[in-house]
Amino acid sequence: MSVGQASFGTRFLSAISGGDSNTWFQYGGRLAPLFEDDPQAQAAFTFVDAFAKKNGKVPTLETIKEATGLLLTQEPADAEFLFDQLMDRRIKRTVALTGQEMQKLLAVKPREALALMHKASAQLAIELATPQTYDFKTSVHTLWPWLVAKWTGEIQSVPFPWHTLQAMTNGTYGGEVVSIVARTGLGKTWLMLEMALHIWRTTKRPVVFVTLEIMARGVLERLAAI
């Protein structure tokens, strides 16, 4: 553990201290791994996390010092910047350690080496994902521009082929997911093909239909029947 690595952990805790729990929990479960190789900052992190969950706010510098004995000073840098530095260090350390383990496996167990690389990469991808939490008290800044864009037609939706559902939802917008669930053989593929055709007819845009279960000629047969 380097001095700089430890200081980024303690500096981050200093920068975020005294704030509300929303600021703390916006990082979700991505924080804990960042302190694994920094025992001093890890003890303070454990206390801060428990305190935020119990009291709905991040403890002050004085409270952290009294509870853990860790002396933190006022931090002028933004917590977001320090978090990025911690994450970069986490990536470098994980990739380096994984590479060392892979080198040991590569000559004799290459598939295990590949699985190890995939596992480490997937974990880092999860940690890098940015969670989005919203406070409804301040939602007007997010909601109002979105509603205006919908009402004015600035943002186009993808329409449903069924009048009732279309009237209820006004279609589906970018970033949304529509799931169709039913037992085998009840027509899910037919239903999705009908949706794809409707989108093509209505928007005049090309549609890609992807399936991992049915051969191409099966899809073409259903499409021809529709």
Q: What is the mean pLDDT of residues 198-221?
A: 88
Would the pLDDT of 101 be above 50? Answer: yes
Is it the case that residue 21 has pLDDT exceeding 80?
A: no
Q: How far apart are CA 115 and CA 102, in angstroms?
A: 9
Give the model's pLDDT for residue 1. 40
Span 74-90, average pLDDT: 90
How high does pLDDT run on average in the chain? 86
pLDDT band at 6 (very low <50, low <70, confident <90, very high): very low
Which pLDDT score is estimated for 41? Answer: 86
pLDDT at 4 over 50: no
Give per-residue pLDDT as tens, 115-153.
999 999 999 998 888 766 667 877 787 788 888 988 888
**Mean pLDDT, residues 164-193:** 88
Q: Does residue 2 have a pLDDT over 70?
A: no
